[in-house]
Amino acid sequence: MLLAVDIGNTNITLGIFRVSKGKILPKPIKVWRLNTNKTESADKYGRKILDLFDHNNINSADIKAVAIASVVPVLDPIFEDVSFKYLGRKAFFVDEKTSFIKMKYENLNEIGADRIADAVAAYHFYGGPAIVIDFGTATTFDCIDKNGVYLGGVIAPGPLISAEALAKKTSKLPQVEVVKPKRAIGKSTVKGIQSGLYFGYVGLVKEILKRIRSEMDGNPKILATGGLADLIVPEIKEVKKILPDLTLEGIRLVYQNSK
């Protein structure tokens, strides 16, 4: 089995892929999420992962490879240790050097590993042109042309960051949950903030999509992934599919192509 690990700023997503007849099968058979803690030790993460394996009847000895996409550099050596110490495997990292897609980008080492994985998986499964919106801590828009070339994209703060910043930078405004309000006009401070966050964010996504589509050839397929996709996408009719495991699939594909 392959353990794919997507290390984000808010969550660490783990996916198990089964291997059959020497081939890694698509679609993870198990997916788990851990909170990202930048100060946690390799031993704590390792024990958490082994506990997940135990509760799901997975033998750690069956893990033959560990592939990682990380946007949290401080955790890279931690998960290298987890992979070697707890699973007996050398960690494979997705980056601009291991990716097999062509990239038109000024500084290749600046591209997040999760964005590379998203672009690889989107083109592999749906072809191009395509746009992937990843609703995470930051919301990213990644553009792939008809030939599978990564063109770049857009990075915007996610709604959770905006909610946190609003609470921290003001004296009287509270931290609120990001939800879809029933009305745009809020009848309380909390509802007013929720309206601004939600509908403002929907407007942001629509405007960015409009602009990047005008700069791309053809009629790009628009795909979504990330933790807040289910909340936001129903307001964005241009998005055709929500793919919760797209990043894990991309990690799997980059690793598989490296062999």
140-176 per-position pLDDT tens digit: 999 999 999 999 999 999 998 999 999 999 988 899 9
- As annotated, the active-site residues are 114
250 to 54, 78, 87, 228, 238: CA distances (angstroms): 26, 22, 22, 19, 23
The mean pLDDT value for 189-196 works out to 94
Residue 259 has pLDDT above 90, yes or no: no
* pLDDT tens profile 213-231: 999 999 999 999 998 999 9
**Residues of the chain above pLDDT 90, percent:** 87
How many angstroms separate the CA atoms of 50 and 114, rounded? 24
Burial of 185 (0-12, 13-18, 19+ CB in 10 A): exposed
How many angstroms separate the CA atoms of 254 and 257, rounded? 5
How many angstroms separate the CA atoms of 246 and 224, rounded? 9
Neighbouring CB atoms inside 10 A of 214's CB total 7
Residue 116 has pLDDT above 90, yes or no: yes
CB-CB contact of 108 with 94 (8 Å): no
Query: 3-state class of 30 per DSSP?
Result: strand
How many angstroms separate the CA atoms of 163 and 166, rounded? 5
* pLDDT tens profile 34-48: 999 999 999 999 999
Tell the residue number behind the tokens 């601009």, with chain if given. Answer: 96
* pLDDT tens profile 1-37: 999 999 999 999 999 999 887 788 889 999 999 999 9
What the block records as the tokens of 248 is 């894990």
